[in-house]
Amino acid sequence: MPVTALVSAKSCGVTASALALTLASRRPSLLAECDPAGGTIRAGYLQGQVTAGYGLYHLAAAERTSTDALANAFASHLWPMDGAGHRKLLAGLTDPAQAAALVRTWPALSEVLHVLADEAGYDVLIDAGRLALSSGRLHTTLSPAPLIHQADLVLLVVRGTEQSLTLARHVIDPLCSELEESGTGADALGLLLIEDGPYRAHQVAEALKTPVLAALPWDPDTANYLTSGGRPPRGVGRGPLLRHARTATEQFEAVASRRSIQQQYPPRPVSPHLAGVLRRLDEGRGGSRG
Ligand SMILES: Nc1ncnc2c1ncn2[C@@H]1O[C@H](COP(=O)(O)OP(=O)(O)O)[C@@H](O)[C@H]1O
Ligand SMILES: [Mg+2]
């Protein structure tokens, strides 16, 4: 299954969309909340259930110890978002000042996420937050650049509004060059359209010269629940946002598998230490709190 990174030019629905895709996927799924500006899911959707003792920040210290320690920490820092533990969260940073410590952790974390996607069939979604560029390149501390480079798909989340398109226009070229030079190619980039505003998918694709890989409806009730938590709206699972998110995950899977066939990637070699992450997840350490 693909590793899909979601980014934006300016806050417009990355976290709500990533959560919707994770909750709606038909497959086991994992959301890695890797926005260097800090995570919002603990205090929002999960309403403080995940303490600061869990999450992304703890992987930095583990990675400095060994790859094996990182694999161990990864498995034990996942938070189950459902009773069966099929949907897992790696909760984000509680303080943006922690981001600097993650710079050397991103490449190893990227490998772990690919192991989960390639070997265990997880749909892996990465909330990579707002893109931070510096001299036309991804900023090394303010963007999780290695995760974006290595993702099978990079989704720039946009709304169909003039404001959103105006800002998105400026990040497309640098992002394409970056994916061409340091990633798996510029064709990893696609748009995820949030249907707010007058512009339809074909107009957005034309304006930004980038394909719209999926669209999510404007659904304030569900989005608000995903952003702030609390009582779910009635029939949330069958509501417009999660229904379309389910279809979107299928569309991403189809695009990513087409890409991988065209590119004929050599299979990624999996370090034996990282392969152990799957065993640890099977042992249920990551799913014992559901
Ligand atoms: N599909 C949607 N329909 C309606 N509102 C949305 C949708 N997606 C996001 N929002 C709203 O947009 C705001 C920003 O969402 P969020 O996911 O936190 O953005 P980001 O992670 O890009 O900063 C929130 O108020 C959220 O409820
Ligand atoms: Mg966010």
- Is residue 238 situated within a structural domain? yes
Q: Look up residue 248 and give its two tokens.
A: 């979107």
Which residue of 12, 159, 164 sits with most ligand 1 atoms within 8 Å of its CB, as the best mutation to test the pocket? 12
Q: Look up residue 63 and give its two tokens.
A: 């990675």
Ion ligand 2 — residues with CB < 5 Å? 14-15
- Is residue 220 situated within a structural domain? yes
- DSSP states of 226-282 as a string? HHH-SSPPTTGGGSHHHHHHHHHHHHHHHHHHHHHHHHTPPPPPPPHHHHHHHHHHH
Q: The domain spanning residue 82 has which CATH number?
A: 3.40.50.300
| Containing structural domain, residue 42 | 3-285
Instruction: Find the ligand nearest to 44 CA.
Output: 1
Cα-atom radius of gyration of the chain, to the nearest Å? 18
The burial class, CB within 10 Å (0-12 / 13-18 / 19+), for 27 is middle
pLDDT at 284: 59
Q: Is 8 in the pocket of ligand 1 (CB under 6 A)?
A: yes
Give the burial string for 104-128 (b: 16+ CB within 10 Å, else e): ebbebbbbbbbbbbbebebbbbbbb
User: Hey, whose CA ends up nearest to atom 14 of ligand 1?
Assistant: 13
- Is residue 117 situated within a structural domain? yes
- Is residue 151 situated within a structural domain? yes
Q: Is 35 in the pocket of ligand 1 (CB under 6 A)?
A: no
CA of 15 to the centre of ligand 1 (A): 7
* DSSP 8-state class, residue 286: G
**pLDDT tens digits for the chain (290 residues)?**
999 999 999 999 999 999 999 999 999 999 999 999 999 999 999 998 999 999 999 999 999 999 889 999 999 999 999 988 899 999 999 999 999 999 999 999 999 999 999 988 999 999 999 999 999 999 999 999 999 999 999 999 999 999 999 999 999 999 999 999 999 999 999 999 999 999 999 999 999 999 999 999 999 999 999 999 999 999 999 999 999 999 999 999 999 999 988 887 666 777 777 777 877 777 754 444 43
pLDDT at 290: 36
- Is residue 290 situated within a structural domain? no
User: Hey, whose CA ends up nearest to atom 19 of ligand 1?
Assistant: 13
10 to 23, 60, 126, 203, 219: CA distances (angstroms): 24, 27, 16, 20, 19
Residue 276 near residue 74, CB atoms below 8 Å: no
Q: Is 220 in the pocket of ligand 1 (CB under 6 A)?
A: yes
- In total, how many domains does the chain have? 1
Q: Look up residue 121 and give its two tokens.
A: 């069939």
Residue 123 near residue 3, CB atoms below 8 Å: no
